Structures are given as C-alpha cells and as structure tokens.
C-alpha cells in the first residue's frame, strides 16, 4: 500500500468524485458561518430558489462585527446591527444553529467550535474566514473559503477543488524559556515568507508540536494562511483526544472510543513523501516581533530590522515609521491588544496573568484583553484572572474579533503602534493609519507593563 | 456570472508587492449584506487620506492611467478570504488582474466572479509594468480561449495557465453551484457510505 500523509488520508476519504482534467468534489462535514461573509451566500440561494442541503451540519456565530462592551444592549452601529439581524433571520429561516451575541456558546468562530467539540480529527471543515486553518490543530482539513463557496456548501455540502500540494515543517529540539507557540509560527513565517505555502497544505511535525497544548497547536495552525498555505495540520494524538473528550458535541462513551481508534490511524505514514519540506531547530527560536506590514516581516525581539533595497520593503518601513537597521527595544507603545482567533484562549490569558500579577500597566498604555468566547470569559473570571488584570489596569472586554480587524469600535488611532497578539500587521488592519506589531501574549503583557518594547529574554532570566 | 473571452484594454500599473485584501477593501466596509457598492471603496485608504481628501500620488487617482486591466506586483490578494475584495475590484471596473503570483483564496474568489486572474512570469510582469507606466496608451490583449496575454504593437506575449474546468466556466458564465447540484445523487451516495 502506498504511504500516505495525514492530509492525504483525510482528503482522499472525502472525495465524492473527480472531474477529468479538473477539480474534485470534496465533501464538507462541518460548515461554520458568521455574519460578515454569509449574507450574500444566503441571498444567492434564495434568489435561485435553492434550499440549504444540510442545515444540521452548519453552525453559526456572531463575532466579526460585534461590540466588546455592553453586549446586553442593542448594537449601536446601524450597519453592524443590520448584519447581525440578517444572520439571525437567515439562521432561523433555514434551521441553522446560531450562537448569537450573549449566548453562552457565543465566541470567535475558531475559538468556540473547538471548545464545543465540534472540531474533530479526520473531518473536513470550512468557513468564510481565512483563519479556519486553526482547526487543523486537531488533524482536521480546515480552510477558509470565499462567499461563492459558502453558497456552494450551502447548496451541496461540497466544494469543487483541486487537491493542494503537501508541505511539512518540522521543528525539533527544546524551546527556550519565554518562547511561546506564537513565536514558533512567527519565526517560521519570517523564514519562509508570506507566499511559500501558497498552493500547499502544511503539516507541522516534530517534538515541539507534539509537546504543545491544543491551544498552542491552534495558534500555530491559525497562522498557516499567513505564509499562504490554505491550511495547517498537526497529527492527532493523546493530547488531542484528551482535549475533545467530554466536550459538548464530542462523541461519548463507546462512540468516542471508536472514533479514537480511527483517529489513531490518521498520522502520516513513516516514509510518506511531501512536495516540500523544511526543518528548523527549536533552539534558534526566540520571542518574536514584527516590524513591517506583513506577517513575514518578523525578527527576534533582540535583533535589528534588516536592510533591504526593495521598494515594497521601504514602503512598508515608511508606513511603520521604522528605520532599516534599528532595534525595536525601548520603542514606546501606547496600545496593547491581547485577543483574536490566534491568541484569545484561556492559556493565553494565563500566560499574560502570570506575568502581570502584582504589577501595574504603564500610564501611557491602553491595554485591551478580549476573550475568544463566552466560555473563555467565564473561565477568566472563575480562575481569578480578571482580578489580576483589573488590579493591573488592563481592561477585560467581552468576546469577539475586536481590534484584530477593527470592524467594530475597537480601533487603534492613526499613527499609533499596537503590540498585538493577532495575526495580521497589514496597513490599517487595526484601524486607519494604525501600526501593528505582532507578538506573543507574553511579549504583549510585558509591553503593557513597561509602556515600551523590552527584551523579554533578559527579563525572564 | 458574466462571460469572458477576450479583452483588449489599456491598463493601470500598481507596482506594489504583497497587496493584501485589507488594502483592497478595508474591513470597515464589509458591513453590507449584498454584493453591490464595494467598487466605490476599492483601495480606499490608498486612494484617500484619512480626512477624505484625494491622495493624488496614488496610481488610481492619476488620470493618465485608465482601463479595465489591473497590473499588480507579486503575491496579489494575500490575507483575508473576503470575497468583497473581488467584488470591489470588479465593481470598480476591472475585468482582469495580472500579477506574477496570486494568493489562493483571492484567485478562487476572482474566478467565481468573472474577474480573470492572469499569472505571468516575473520578467513579463516587469515588461508590462514598464511599458504601461511609460506609455499609458499601451494596449494589453488578453485571450482566455488561447490563454495568452500580449502587449499590442510589440512581439511580447506569454501563455498563462488556468484550470480547464474554470476556463470553461469563465467562457460560458457558469458557476460551481450548477455543477454541484447536478451531482446530488453522487453526494447522497457518498454520505450513505462514509468510511470515516
């Protein structure tokens, strides 16, 4: 029998049919939707008189466009309110489960689905959001789609796709103190660039990922799209099974054991071939920060910005108001954001709280903490982390995508830097004229305390 | 979806690499529930200053350049999956985007909306950018059936690749929904015999 990768096994088991010299029909098990990229797809089907094929395989949440304050009150912004109402109407009309604002299961789509046990190994998942790659942490084929494709899945529970090529990134060795999963993925992207993964599905392998928690694995897979890969995957193992067990929608009892037996067959066969492979040494990774306007423009926190002649590179530095060759250490920072589908899980807030405990944020800093879901919010309160944050002067908001993409009111002002745990540092991503520096929750917390970027590695030792 | 066969047009050179979908259409304009009107806000924060005044130095505001072909730097359309980016570019009046590399999701979204992404070699892109920038009257000819792109009045041309199925869809104005729905029996049979 031919040797197969994790990706091959899951993909091949979902092929309904293949068009000669063309794409394949791929079956989709779970379809997650939200308010921003679904309304036009609902309209499309309605206009063409096509019913939703499998409404019970769709789960909806409101996250992109929701306020993070006063969620019990009507949404002030009329356009946002209309979009949220439209989602409610569409879901009701089509019998789709919706965790709307205020629901105990509401949250960022890529935080709420895993914590409810909706995300499981060996299945295919899509969502009209590029960070759907997050769910690959479970050994799931999960990827972002456009709204036309949302309509296709509505109509047929399938997509027409050409099978992507395979890529494996292996990181072995021991991570240094203070190096978090976010640093690992920022490091990988800084080495490989923002388009090295385009056309590929990426598997992350090596002891570094094997030893990571599910939260950490989700952070890594989340940013696969930032190197262009449609999705990232990590082989399911005991850590995965333990995480899923007893979650709301996870199979229970004997059914769970049967699933686990199947999930254990999914990891890549020894000797299976990948189209492209990269290897990195964990010991070379340090806490990372970005200095430019794409996630590939990252450096070790103690390094200096590289010098390049490329006009796009120069345009990027001019936007950030940074000089080639300079260090970011001691740069004053007035905004810190801990949140987004990359880093808004309980583990991220524990890391931040652990550093912050007993300290006060710097006077110049506005620090927003935005949990990824209602469940994470509850956990933050139950574990006593909220008190630590409040005493330190941080502001704990209600769940949502928030300042990651600044669709709601959570915007960073023009010209201001924000050290952010989110996934994109594009121009204006966090508000018109805002300047984003991507980092781990630990670096973000330390920045808020100091009011400037510090060399966290020295601080920890 | 509109049909596409050939197009001969002047072009607008956008010589910037890694143009992400947040630049094409910033998130604050994603609140609409239909597909119309996004063209008004394409490249919004490059076309306008924060106070609403026009950024004269941005290429789309340079009246010398016009046309329904956009020529952009490497890795065009990276970032978010928002199809609004394809709607915005199409809504502004572009029918073709040329680059040496496209991000996956953007490319798919463009094809699903009758906006043709033409991927050319880095050398050809250089030529195109140079010719169009120095002579805004330069005509660029795109022929989907033959899969060629050429600079009129010169012997410069190149073949481009496109999935044969997607090519048929573009030429005939079909979309994937029709195809998938016609295969419902197969899909139901698959569901009944899932091996996982």
Model confidence pLDDT, tens digit, residues A317-370: 999 999 999 999 999 999 999 999 999 999 999 999 999 999 999 999 999 999
- What residues of B are in contact with residue A37 (Cβ under 8 Å)? 81-83
Average pLDDT value for residue range A62-66: 97
CA torsion angle A388 A389 A390 A395 (round to 10):
-170
CB atoms within 10 A of CB B152: 13
Pairing of strands B140-143, B148-151: antiparallel
Judge: A230–B104 Cβ closer than 8 Å, yes or no: yes
pLDDT score recorded for residue A369: 98
Cβ neighbours for A141, distance < 8 A, ≥ 6 positions apart: A7, A10, A11, A14, A123, A124, A125, A201, A231, A233
B79 lies within 8 A of chain A by CB: yes
pLDDT value, residue B118: 98
Q: Which residue from A minimizes the CA distance to B101?
A: A195
Asked whether the predicted pLDDT for residue A20 surpasses 90, the reply is no
Question: Which pLDDT score is estimated for A1?
Answer: 65
Is the pLDDT assigned to residue A26 strictly greater than 80? yes
User: Least CB-CB distance to B186: which of A17, A77, A122?
Assistant: A17
Q: Which two tokens stand for residue A376?
A: 């994470």
- Provide the b/e sequence for B75-85 (b: ≥16 CB within 10 Å): bbbbbbbbbbb
A429 and B27 in contact by Cβ < 8 A? yes
- The pLDDT, as a whole number, for residue B2 is 86
What is the mean pLDDT of the segment spanning B3-15?
97
How close A269 comes to chain B (CA, Å)?
18
pLDDT digits (tens, 9 = 90+) for B126-168: 999 999 999 999 999 999 999 999 999 999 999 999 999 999 9
Average pLDDT of span B6-17: 97
What band does A22 get if pLDDT is binned at 50, 70 and 90? confident
Going by pLDDT thresholds of 50, 70 and 90, the confidence category of residue A413 is very high
| Nearest residue, CB atoms, B45 vs list A14, A155, A427 | A427
Q: Is the pLDDT of residue A387 over 90?
A: yes
How far B68 CA sits from the closest chain A CA (Å)?
23
Residues of chain A neighbouring B81 (CB-CB closer than 8 A): 37, 128-130, 144-146
Using only C-alpha atoms, chain A has a radius of gyration, in whole angstroms, of: 21
A-chain residues near B25 (CB < 8 A): none
What ipTM describes this predicted complex? 0.95
Backbone angles phi and psi of B128, in degrees to 5: -60, -50
Check if A194 contacts B (Cβ < 8 Å): yes
Q: Does A311 touch chain B (CB under 8 A)?
A: yes
For residue A61, pLDDT beyond 90: yes
- Say what the pLDDT of residue A329 is: 98
Asked whether the beta carbons of residue B177 and residue A156 sit closer than 8 angstroms, the reply is yes
pTM: 0.97
Mutate: best of B33, B89, B100, B168, partner A, most A CBs <10 A: B33
| Residue whose C-alpha is closest to residue A26's, from A10, A3, A2 | A10
A47 touching chain B per CB within 8 A = no
Q: Which residues of A touch B30 (CB under 8 A)?
A: 36, 64-65, 407
Q: Which residues pair with B14 in a beta bridge?
A: B72
**Average pLDDT of the residues in B166-184:** 93
Tell how far CA A14 is from the center of its chain.
24
Residues A312, B16: C-beta atoms closer than 8 Å: yes
Confidence class for position B1, pLDDT limits 50, 70, 90: confident
The predicted model gives A294-321 an average pLDDT of 97
Q: Which helix (H) or strand (E) segment is B185 a member of?
A: helix B184-192
Q: Chain A residue closest to B80 (CA)?
A: A130
Per-window interface: B 116-145 vs A, CB < 8 A = none
- Nearest residue on chain A to B164, judged by CA atoms? A22
Query: Which of B15, B103, B176 has its CB closest to that of A228?
Result: B103
Determine contact: A16 vs chain B, CB below 8 A.
Answer: yes
Question: Which chain A residues touch B107 with a CB distance below 8 Å?
Answer: none
Q: Quote the percentage of chain A above a pLDDT of 70.
A: 100
What's residue A131's pLDDT?
98
Which pLDDT belongs to residue B196?
A: 85
pLDDT digits (tens, 9 = 90+) for A40-53: 999 999 999 999 99
Q: What is the pLDDT of residue A461?
A: 61
- Which chain B residues are closer than 8 Å to A50 by Cβ? 177, 181
Asked whether the beta carbons of residue B183 and residue A424 sit closer than 8 angstroms, the reply is no
Is there a contact between B186 and A16 if contact means CB atoms under 8 Å apart? yes
Q: Which residues of B touch A266 (CB under 8 A)?
A: none
Kindly provide the residue ranges of all beta strands, DSSP E only, lying in chain B, ordered along the sequence: 6-9, 11-14, 69-72, 96-99, 116-119, 140-143, 148-151, 157-159
Reported residue count of chain B is 196
Does pLDDT of B72 surpass 70?
yes
- Residue A311: list chain B partners with CB under 8 A: 15
Q: Do A27 and B187 touch (CB under 8 A)?
A: yes
Residue in A closest to B183 by C-alpha? A156
In the block, tokens 């952070």 appear at A219
Structure confidence at residue A414 (pLDDT): 96
Query: Taking all residues of chain A, what is their mean pLDDT, rounded to a whole number?
Result: 97
Cβ distance of B22 and A429 shorter than 8 Å: yes
Say yes or no: A28 contacts chain B, CB-CB below 8 A.
Answer: no
Judge: A146–B50 Cβ closer than 8 Å, yes or no: no
* Coil, helix or strand at residue A92: helix
pLDDT in tens, A115-171: 999 999 999 999 999 999 999 999 999 999 999 999 999 999 999 999 999 999 999
């Amino acid at each position: 029998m031919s040797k197969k990768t994790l990706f091959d096994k899951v993909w091949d088991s979902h092929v309904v049919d293949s068009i000669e010299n063309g794409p394949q029909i791929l079956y989709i098990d779970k379809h997650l939707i939200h308010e921003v990229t679904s309304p036009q797809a609902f309209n499309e089907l309605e206009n063409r008189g096509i019913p939703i094929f499998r409404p019970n395989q769709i789960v909806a949440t409101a996250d992109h466009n929701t306020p993070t304050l006063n969620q019990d009150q009507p949404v002030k912004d009329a356009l946002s309110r209309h979009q949220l109402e439209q989602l409610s109407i569409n879901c009701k009309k089509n019998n789709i489960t919706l965790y709307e604002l205020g629901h105990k299961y509401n949250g960022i789509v890529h935080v709420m689905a895993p914590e409810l046990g909706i995300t499981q190994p060996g299945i295919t998942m899509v969502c009209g959001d590029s960070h759907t790659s997050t769910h690959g942490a479970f050994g799931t084929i999960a990827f972002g789609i456009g709204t036309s494709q949302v309509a296709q899945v509505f109509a047929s529970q399938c997509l027409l796709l050409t099978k992507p090529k395979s890529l494996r990134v292996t990181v072995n060795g021991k991570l240094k103190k203070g190096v978090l999963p976010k640093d690992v993925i920022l490091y990988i992207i800084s080495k490989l660039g923002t388009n090295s993964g385009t056309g590929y599905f990426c598997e992350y392998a090596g002891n570094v990922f094997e030893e990571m928690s599910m939260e950490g694995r989700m952070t890594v897979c989340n940013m696969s799209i930032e190197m262009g890969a449609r999705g990232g995957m990590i082989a399911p193992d005991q850590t995965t099974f333990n995480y899923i067990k007893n979650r709301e929608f996870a199979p229970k009892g004997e059914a769970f054991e049967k699933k686990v037996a199947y999930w254990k067959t999914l990891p890549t066969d020894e000797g299976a071939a990948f189209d492209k492979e990269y290897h990195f040494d964990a010991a070379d990774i340090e806490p990372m920060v970005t200095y430019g306007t794409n996630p590939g423009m990252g450096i070790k926190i103690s390094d200096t910005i590289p010098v390049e002649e490329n006009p796009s590179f120069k345009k990027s530095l001019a936007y950030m108001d940074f000089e080639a060759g300079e260090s970011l250490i001691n740069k004053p920072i007035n905004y810190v954001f801990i949140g987004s589908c990359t880093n808004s899980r309980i583990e991220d807030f524990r890391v931040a709280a652990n550093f912050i405990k007993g300290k006060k944020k710097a006077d110049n800093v506005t620090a927003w903490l935005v949990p990824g879901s209602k469940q994470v919010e509850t956990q933050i309160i139950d574990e006593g982390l909220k008190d630590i944050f409040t005493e330190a002067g941080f502001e704990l908001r209600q769940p949502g995508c928030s300042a990651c993409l600044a669709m709601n009111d959570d915007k960073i002002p023009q010209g201001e830097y924000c050290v952010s745990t989110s996934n994109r540092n594009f121009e204006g991503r966090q508000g018109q004229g805002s300047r984003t520096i991507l980092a781990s929750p630990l670096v973000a917390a330390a920045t808020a305390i100091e009011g400037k970027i510090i060399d966290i590695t020295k601080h920890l030792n | 979806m509109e049909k596409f066969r050939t197009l001969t047009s002047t072009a607008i050179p956008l010589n910037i690499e890694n143009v992400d979908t947040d630049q094409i259409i910033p998130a604050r304009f994603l609140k609409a529930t239909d597909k119309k009107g996004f063209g008004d806000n394409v490249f919004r924060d490059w076309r306008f200053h924060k106070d609403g005044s026009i950024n004269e130095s941005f290429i789309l505001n340079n009246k010398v350049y016009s046309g329904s072909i956009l020529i952009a730097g490497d890795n065009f359309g990276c970032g978010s999956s928002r199809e609004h980016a394809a709607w915005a570019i199409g809504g502004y009046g572009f029918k073709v985007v040329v680059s040496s590399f496209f991000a996956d999701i953007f490319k798919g979204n463009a094809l699903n909306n009758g906006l043709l992404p033409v991927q050319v070699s880095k050398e050809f892109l250089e030529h195109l950018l140079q010719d169009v920038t120095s002579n805004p009257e330069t005509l660029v000819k795109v022929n989907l059936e033959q899969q060629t792109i050429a600079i009129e009045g010169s012997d410069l041309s190149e073949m481009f690749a496109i999935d044969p199925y997607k090519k048929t869809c573009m030429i005939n104005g079909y979309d994937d929904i029709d195809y998938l729905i016609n295969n419902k029996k197969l899909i139901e049979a698959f569901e009944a015999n899932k091996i996982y």
